Structure 1
Amino acid sequence: MGNEIFNPYKKFSKNDESQIKEEINVKKSFEEFNLDNLVPFKNQPFKVYSNDEMKELKDSIERIGLQNPIIVRRLENNKYEILAGHNRARAFKELGKEKIPAIIQDVDDDTAQMIMIDTNIVQRQNMTTMERAKAYKLKDEIKKRKRYDIDKVEENLSDEEKEQLASEESRQTFYRYLSLTNLIPEYQAKCDDDSLSVRAGEQLSKLNEQQQRKIYEALGDSKITENKAEELRKLANTFDEFTVDIIKENFNGDKNTIKSSIKFTKKEMEKYFSDFKSIKEIKEYLIRLLEEIDEKSENSPYGEKYY
């Protein structure tokens, strides 16, 4: 038998009475709490359900009851902070109910936050990319402080949910999502609408805010694949001054690739190209020089290459 929280609304037959008693003995007890005494968790990264999702949840509650009690922790003045179950509490209110089943956890701030994060990760079916990324960022900060009670966190998860967390949060995946929190808002939005993949976002996240904004200004809503993002990152690191013109002149929109580039140091640029006003002028100048060299080579009676 797993560690699933006992469902107070589940219907059992008489033949299940022994099982019910066994489950009640091993499960945490729950109480009915007045909805007016509940307050939301501050700065939690998860969005409220859409109207369609909320309707589906309310229909489910009316049809089969609440499958899991919410989780709260005690505050002052007879108030309780919701750690898990914000949408369930909202659904109960909209259904005109006054109370909701809840489990009390008397825990510190870091443990409370970790319970809030892990229960949402395993229970939400339509979590966006950036919801997960921001949750991982909070989780990373909590882990670094090393003050939370892991046993208190895990007792709110079933064995299946623990396995789910372990499989979804490999070190590589965890830090890949975490990197997305370094993206500018425009690219975070693209991660959420799936027009920018997690891997492509990871590449762009290695650039600073100014470089990302130059790319967005130059390319706008053009699709950026993982390979393209990697080439853009390399291009940004090629130039001491990364500009919109450089991006546009090096970006081949037709082939969806980045053209090859040559890196010049700032000193070399000042020494050889200080009189030029743009990369385009420098390019044209270098091409003319190469053409002159080729012409001299072709006209040489000895077939010499003037390089």
Structure 2
Amino acid sequence: MKFDKILATSQSRTKAPTEDTVIEESRIIKDNAEIPLTDIDFYSDNNVAQPFNIDEEELNRLTESIKSMGQLTPATVRELDSGKYELLSGHKRYIALQKLEKKTILCRVCDFNDKEAFKAVCHANIQRKGENPTEICNMFNGYRQRFGEDMSVTEMSTFFGISPKTLYRCIHINNLIDELKPLVDTGMLSIHAVEIIDALNDEQQKVLFDYLKKVEKALTPKAAKQVIELADQNKDFTVDDIDKALNPPKIKKVYKSPVYNTIYSVEPLLIQGMSEQELDELVYRLLKQHMTEQQEGGNEATKPVRWDGKSMQVEVDTAVIRISRKYDIRRMLERNISAFDIATQLRNHCINTSYGTPDGEYTIFCGDTMLIKFTNRILNANGATRLELTWRQVADELIKLTELSMDNLKSE
């Protein structure tokens, strides 16, 4: 079973190399060597045992197979300086032979350094069945942290037989708090939901865990997005807040239009006693009035100037930093959150708000775009006083400033 299947990704899978292609013939010292079980130690990395659990049902089947047919596949070991051997592949075979009270095990003895031994253990576990996603991710991230710096994403994904996107998904799982990780193994959290809630900080993830523990219900990607929207509105949300966001009261159907029903559920007195036809006529009159006002006031002087990405750099940088004070852009970059997602979160957080500067030089208005309205500055020949930025421009500028700040810290 490959990573992609374990993590339920729709990405196409590449074929992982077999064990024989991983071990070069020149590295094999002995093949089918009979070694006493007492001369073999289980693999450990920095005194931490390999993290994979042994499935009892699978072990019992293997034991019966060896009992009737013998050991068909040799285990993989390397010789230690102490004269003993370290088991890299074949842990279930070793235990099965112990249960059958055998004294020796067939082994392939390889000349591996520490890095190559770690690779062999990783690869052997990739071929196993029944791995939990968190076990696979622990193994992958252990390899990535120790040896991955000299491999590209493409090289690493080819070695493990997975898609590059799945490598990043492993990082998402590792960013979860310890309480949430087991929920990925049980299916309470799909990998698609994990990618979304990765944007939550540790305290917010803890609240989410408490909610899932309470309701004992899987978190869907749609629900995960609702939790993120809740976090954008209230960073100190509670279990009850999540419950209200994911399980809103049903809207009473008074009208055919869902829009009118929503208004009625929020402000019933606002439209109480009005028929659907009367509401339709009111909406028509208000829209017509609005469009007339727009046309009459839509001269060139009132139109904002679109920012070209270069001019007025100081004013723009000051403005985007001002509206993003509560956002940790550095942490979002470290979590591989895209510029598009950062722009979306900024818009959702800042929409319908405004910010002024102490000197009164300009005011920032946040809506579908960000407007900087200057008090005593004309931006073009038409007399425009407002500069307009898209939220993607705002996000790109913040990312650039944050990366520059990080580079300066490294150089110091």
Q: Answer yes or no: same fold by TM over 0.5.
A: yes
Once the two structures are overlaid, the 10-residue window that deviates more, 83-92 or 228-237, is: 228-237
Whole-angstrom distance in 1 between the partners of 2:211 and 2:19: 51
Picking from 228, 247, 252, the partner of 2:242 is 247
Whole-angstrom distance in 1 between the partners of 2:19 and 2:245: 56
Letter of the structure 1 residue corresponding to residue 226 of structure 2: E
Q: How many Å apart are 1:75 and its aligned residue? A: 1.6
Measured against aligned partners, the alpha-carbon deviations of 1:117-147 in whole angstroms (never above 9, x if no partner) come to 111111x111122111212211221333439
Q: Does 1:47 align with 2:59?
A: no
Letter of the structure 1 residue corresponding to residue 234 of structure 2: F
Conserved in 2, the CA contact under 8 Å of 1:200 and 1:226? yes
Whole-angstrom distance in 1 between the partners of 2:148 and 2:18: 28
Aligned to 2:194: 201
Aligned to 1:10: none
Whole-angstrom distance in 1 between the partners of 2:169 and 2:18: 30
Cα gap change, 1:130 to 1:253, in 2 (>3 Å): farther
Conserved in 2, the CA contact under 8 Å of 1:177 and 1:198? no
Aligned to 1:280: none
Aligned to 1:237: 232
Picking from 30, 36, 39, the partner of 2:38 is 36
TM-score under structure 1 length normalisation: 0.65
Q: How many Å apart are 1:34 and its aligned residue? A: 1.0
Cα gap change, 1:95 to 1:176, in 2 (>3 Å): same
Whole-angstrom distance in 2 between the partners of 1:165 and 1:55: 28
Conserved in 2, the CA contact under 8 Å of 1:187 and 1:201? no
Secondary structure at 2:170's aligned position in 1?
A: helix
Letter of the structure 2 residue corresponding to residue 194 of structure 1: G
Picking from 97, 116, 123, the partner of 2:121 is 116
Aligned to 2:185: 192
Picking from 188, 201, 217, the partner of 2:210 is 217
Cα gap change, 1:254 to 1:172, in 2 (>3 Å): farther
5 Å matches for 1:259-298?
none
Query: What is the identity percentage for the equivalent residue pairs of Structure 1 and Structure 2?
Result: 27
Aligned to 2:278: none
Whole-angstrom distance in 1 between the partners of 2:91 and 2:242: 45
Higher relative strand content: 2
Whole-angstrom distance in 1 between the partners of 2:193 and 2:111: 41
Cα gap change, 1:136 to 1:234, in 2 (>3 Å): farther
Q: Does 1:92 align with 2:97?
A: yes
Q: Does 1:133 align with 2:128?
A: no
Q: How many Å apart are 1:28 and its aligned residue? A: 6.9
Letter of the structure 2 residue corresponding to residue 109 of structure 1: D
Whole-angstrom distance in 2 between the partners of 1:92 and 1:145: 38
Q: How many Å apart are 1:35 and its aligned residue? A: 0.6
Conserved in 2, the CA contact under 8 Å of 1:29 and 1:103? yes
Gaps of 5+ in 1: 6-23, 148-161, 256-286, 296-302
**Number of equivalenced pairs:** 233
TM-score under structure 2 length normalisation: 0.49
Cα gap change, 1:93 to 1:247, in 2 (>3 Å): same
Secondary structure at 1:72's aligned position in 2?
A: strand
Aligned to 2:72: 67
Measured against aligned partners, the alpha-carbon deviations of 1:158-198 in whole angstroms (never above 9, x if no partner) come to xxxx98943xx111012213321222333222221223222
Secondary structure at 1:46's aligned position in 2?
A: coil
Secondary structure at 1:178's aligned position in 2?
A: helix
Aligned to 1:8: none
Conserved in 1, the CA contact under 8 Å of 2:204 and 2:235? no
Secondary structure at 1:144's aligned position in 2?
A: helix
Aligned to 1:172: 165
Secondary structure at 1:77's aligned position in 2?
A: coil
Once the two structures are overlaid, the 10-residue window that deviates more, 99-108 or 245-254, is: 245-254
Letter of the structure 2 residue corresponding to residue 127 of structure 1: E
Whole-angstrom distance in 2 between the partners of 1:115 and 1:136: 12
Whole-angstrom distance in 1 between the partners of 2:70 and 2:225: 49
Whole-angstrom distance in 2 between the partners of 1:66 and 1:208: 49
Secondary structure at 2:112's aligned position in 1?
A: coil
Aligned to 2:391: none
Cα gap change, 1:254 to 1:196, in 2 (>3 Å): farther
Secondary structure at 2:180's aligned position in 1?
A: helix
